[in-house]
Structure 1
Amino acid sequence: MRPGGLNTMGSPAFTDEDSARYRAAGWWSDVTLSDAVRRNAEQSPGRAAYVDHPGISLTWRVFDCAASDLAEQLIGVGVSRGDRVAVWHGDSAAIHVLLVAIERCGAVVVGVGARAGSREVAAILRTAQPKFLVSDRARSAAARQAAAAVTAGFPVLVLGSGSDAGELCVHIDAAPTALGAERPLGPDDVFLINSTSGTTGLPKWVVHTQNRWYYFHQKAVANGLLTADDIFLPVIPTPFGFGIWTSHTTPIYLGATAVILERFTTKTTYEAIAQHKVTVLCCVSTQLTMLMADRSRLDYDLSSLRVVFAGGEALPYRPAAEFEELTGAKILQFYGSNETGLLSATTVDDSRHRRLRTSGRIVPEMAVRLFDGDRDVTATGHGQPACRGPATSLGYLGGTDHDKLFTRDGWMRMGDICQIDADGYLTVTGRTSDFILRGGKNISASEVEDAVMAHSSIAVAAAVAMPDPVFGEKVCVYIELADSQTVELPQLVEHLVALGVSKELLPERLIVMDELPRSSGGKIAKSQLREDIRARMEAKHECT
């Protein structure tokens, strides 16, 4: 086995035969992200690498030098090859310099969501056991609080900027130490441990090599016809899977420019697209529906957009089609997870129906199968997907939930129920844990949400199970309204019936919120909504 395949993480490993086959096919490479940064600095030294909106801009030459300088500081502090370094930092150009610097130390990044709280960070430190925690100035006090809750004297490094825009330094008294020849990681080594950004249950820690994301990067380039001349705007938090390839992996491998927002809002997103002439927008489907619901979109020139990568949840057709009409861009969906990488994807050559109504055609080299439990039901075209291939992670840290993630014979599972048609296009019909069981009938929450989103007054929708003494569960829908519009449950039901929506998909309770709760990865946090409806029902019961 290669270094990154060692079972020290408690995870399944790629064999030497796997590695040789993937390289022979061109799916994996011997070029690392650090190598690509150096190449970009040599070939396009003056091109913008990362642009903070609003804020500083780093060229590839400055980025490369800053990463090496910061790596030497980290080595001087005591970061050694194989160490884990937790990163709790807001989205900015600086975090990408830091990730490359840690790679050049030969260390492993433990990615912490920028919106995490100190108690959550303390739990992460106990589980992942990094040697250091690096934060930005905005989180420095909370970082020290979290570290102190783990152990006295746990080292916290604060990353800040000097007078030069490209000068980044850790604020600690230690002399820089020159980089050694043996320090950098290889593309098959573990370089990142990050948490799942799922909407239910406790997060688990996914173990990554660079090559799995190199493969994903190649698919994105082919599907979207991406080039070094594209301007990327990824609005997904960096530590998570979707955020890693859209803001770090693909811009670096391409040598393209990435515009970074400290925090997603519809206004700043539209401003950034117009100001920087963004050609590639990357967002989860919830963010896309929020963008479409904001009428200020009409105040900005969005004509530079060419491609929008969307994923994470089912994409409502109406706002997606309207966004394409407004911008002229093509929305490309893919299907996968932080654990598996992609299993299917759409391309710019697909029809609008295929691009917006499906998650794309199955990727042959990911060898996707469908299961019912441990029984292979691929021939039926309906079941729980699982895969083996070059995009998969090494599994969960320490082998956590190995039996849930893998079938008995080693196929990595997704948590969804899917349909694959005769042409190989995949459609998600629901999650294994995201069904509403009403009177013994399984109702797909995603189908309810897609139906509800057909109403023009609704910007975002999330369907969850509402406890019921007679039927067991009923359909409850939480929504965010578009602009200042209003909608009542009877009006919504009447609208859906007129559209011919199946009666089983009709909401039985409607709750309007200013903003639905989000997970760290930007998805709707349905676990919080389920807790909310249970609390509302219990309070109602106590009052009667």
Structure 2
Amino acid sequence: MGSGGLDTVGSPAFSADEAARYHADGWWSDTTLSDAVRRNAELSPGRAAYVDRPGGSLSWNEFDCGATLLAEQLASVGVVRGDRVAVWHGDSAAIHLLFVAIERCGAVVVGLGARAGPREVVRIVRDTRPKILISDRHRGHAAASVAAECAVPLLELGRRGEAPALSVETKPGALDIDCRLGPDDVFLINSTSGTTGRPKCVVHTQNRWHYFHLKAVTHGLLISDDVFLPVIATPFGFGIWTSHTTPIHLGATAVILDRFTTRAAAQAIADHRVTVLCCVSTQLTMLMADSGCRNVDLSSLRVVFTGGEAVPYRPAAEFEEITGAKILQFYGSNETGLLSGTTMDDARQRRLRTAGRVVSEMSVRLFDGDRDVTATGRGQPACRGPATSLGYLNGTDHDTLFTADGWMRMGDLCEIDAEGYLTVTGRISEFIVRGGKNISAAQVEDAVLTHPAIAVAAAVAMPDPVFGEKVCLYAELVGSHTLELAELVNHLLGLGYSKELLPERLIVVDELPRSSGGKVAKGALREDIRARMEVDDEHC
């Protein structure tokens, strides 16, 4: 499959004239991430590019040389321009080096979440049809099972000396230096939660993230001397610009945790004098709530980028007072990219109580169904501009993602005030937002219905002070069956479902409430779980 044309045919995200304008206005670049890596190696060869915790580090020169070695190895096993390479790997310096190596082959990364379960990985691999699957030792057994089920070759990314490498022979001259990707070519396919119970594959060019990078630099006053700590999984939208695109384009240093904990993050900030923390709001809430982190020196922090859901005002303001950093919230999605964002110049009330001003290059309209209600200042946002992805692979569900005239929809209800500041007021889509991660209620329901005791299931969000929301499952059971939460969780794990789909509370009912049309009345269930939790709190 071609890395450009075949993947982009039929996408209404932007026209050729719009793409030319984005280039002319400087929002889209003529250079790539691979070019930036090479430039960094020439200008700052000894500067740390990526630092693993725990583990070592790679300088920009080592990163550049390592990416070329890996690209040669990939070419030696037959990877050519237009191929897809699936990557199921934990967060580390190695995954970033591998992404650039795949780019230098002219191939497309299929980014699989490190926490994804085998069942989800199998679905994505089948949908994207990669030439090979690359994984790490930690996922060896699961990756081998996926590779066998999908009939795709598996390679393990290990080390050759200090550098990440594959256990394959390198054939001299195998890599065609003219095959590398351009900034308008597809370079990444990742997944997002779908409302149909199946993950969607989102198609990305480098330039849509280059635009986001430029806005982040402007909003956060970022410079090459900044030290980043991105603690979001690399293959996803927030992770790809905070850990890959922006550090590489700036030539800055990024510190990578193998697993997020509040103490590990705080200690990394202190040890490496981190200036830019990038995290979803739940991670920030956890960091703010951990009293032990107050004993760690966080004074190097200058800016915190966060999104996913609103941060709680009082602890966020206290965090700013303690650290001296400014918290910058933004609004967007894996599909749309940035719609709005706060800046270092915004007052605290604006930064902590809104998602910032709508950015001028992204045209935003508000809808009520198919009716344009932009003038009212409240509705479902749809956007068009240089930040958007190309949509879903093969145009799947484009009729729901895009309006009839090609504007990309969000799944929320928002208000935009007279000064252009955006606030999220509710959601249209059936998502449970746990720690900034969209979890499809339909996916949860499809998963739990594999248990023979469950006849009907409905997944809803239950409030949580740390994660914002958690998954609560209501279920009607078959006949005289009984079911406990632990049994259901073990059943799902045994089938290889991702941990994010696991219910965290199970409520068995004789009959689920239904609307007049016969559908499960999820609004009533959301009210019920809130009432139950209030009673629980009273008894604590």
The TM-score by the shorter chain falls in which range? Answer: 0.7 to 0.9
- Give CA-to-partner distance per residue, 1:75-112, whole Å, 9 cap, x none: 00111110000000000000000000000000000000
Alpha-carbon separation, structure 2, partners of 1:433 and 1:197 = 10
Q: Which residue does 1:25 correspond to in 2?
A: 25
- Out of 245, 253, 256, the residue aligned to residue 252 of structure 2 is 256
Q: SS at 2:80's partner residue?
A: coil
Deviation at 1:63, TM superposition (A): 0.3
Q: Distance in 1 between matches of 2:289 and 2:511?
A: 33
Task: Please give the alpha-carbon distance, in whole angstroms, between the structure 2 residues aligned to 1:474 and 1:51.
Answer: 39
Structure 1 residues 176 and 538: alpha-carbon distance in aligned structure 2, compared to 1, 3 A threshold: farther
**1:159 matched residue in structure 2:** 157
Contact 1:199–1:524, Cα closer than 8 Å, also in 2: no
- Measured in 2, the distance between the counterparts of 1:475 and 1:52 equals 35
Task: State the SS of the aligned residue for 1:404.
Answer: helix
Unaligned 5+ residue runs, structure 1?
A: 436-444, 450-461, 465-471, 483-510, 512-516, 518-522
Residue type at the aligned position of 1:379: A
The letter of the residue matching 1:184 is: R
The match for 1:191 is 187
Report if aligned partners of 1:280, 1:307 keep a CA contact under 8 Å in 2: yes
Retained in 2: the 8 A contact 1:405–1:413?
Answer: yes
Q: Structure 1: how far apart are the matches of 2:459 and 2:60? A: 55
Q: Structure 1 CA distance, aligned partners of 2:265 and 2:337?
A: 26
User: Which position in structure 2 is the counterpart of 1:488?
Assistant: none
- The DSSP-based 3-state class of the residue aligned with 2:178 is coil
Report the 3-state secondary structure (helix = DSSP H, G, I; strand = E; otherwise coil) of the residue aligned with 2:239.
helix
Q: Give the alignment's TM-score, normalised by structure 1.
A: 0.80
Match of 1:14 in 2: 14
Residue 455 of structure 1: aligned partner: none
Q: CA-to-partner distance for each residue in 1:477-517, whole Å, 9 max, x for gaps?
A: 345599xxxxxxxxxxxxxxxxxxxxxxxxxxxx9xxxxx9
Q: CA deviation at 1:266?
A: 0.6
Contact 1:5 1:12 (C-alpha < 8 Å) held by counterparts? no
1:138 aligns with 138
What is aligned with 1:406? 402
Tell me which residue corresponds to 2:122: 122
Which residue of structure 2 lines up, in the alignment, with residue 67 of structure 1?
A: 67
In structure 2, runs of 5+ residues without a counterpart are 442-457, 469-484, 486-491, 493-497, 514-540
| TM-score normalised per structure 2 | 0.81
Deviations 1:270-289 (A, max 9, x none): 11000000000000001111
In the alignment, the residues of structure 1 paired with residue 110 and residue 287 of structure 2 have an alpha-carbon distance, to the nearest angstrom, of 31
- 8 Å CA contact 1:344, 1:361 repeated in 2: yes
Q: Which residue of 2 aligns with 1:501?
A: none
Task: For residue 271 of structure 1, give the secondary structure of its aligned residue in structure 2.
Answer: helix
Given candidates 318, 321, 324, the residue that maps to 1:322 is: 318
1:81 correspondence with 2:97: no
C-alpha deviation, 1:538, in angstroms: 5.2
Shift >6 Å, 4+ stretches: 472-475
CA contact (8 A) 2:13 2:388 kept: no
Residue matched to 2:171? 175
- 2:49–2:63 contact (8 Å) kept in structure 1: yes
**How many residues in Structure 1 have an aligned counterpart in Structure 2?**
466
Work out whether residues 406 and 412 of structure 1, in 8 Å CA contact, stay in contact via their aligned partners in 2: yes
Match of 1:241 among 216, 233, 237: 237
Q: Note if 1:273 corresponds to 2:269.
A: yes
Letter of the structure 2 residue corresponding to residue 89 of structure 1: H
Task: Tell me the secondary structure at the aligned position of residue 87 of structure 1.
Answer: strand
State the percentage of identical aligned residues: 69
User: Are 2:13 and 2:406, in contact at CA under 8 Å, matched by a contact in 1?
Assistant: no
1:45 aligns with 2:45: yes
SS in 1 for 2:299: coil
Change in 2 beyond 3 A, CA 1:377/1:54: same
In structure 2, relative to structure 1, the CA distance for the partners of 1:198 and 1:244 (3 Å cut) is: farther
Check conservation: 1:84, 1:108, Cα contact below 8 A.
yes
1:121 positional shift? 1.4
Distance 2:190 2:250 in 1: 23
Separation of aligned partners in 1, 2:33 and 2:242: 13
Structure 2 CA distance for aligned equivalents of residues 30 and 393 of structure 1 = 18
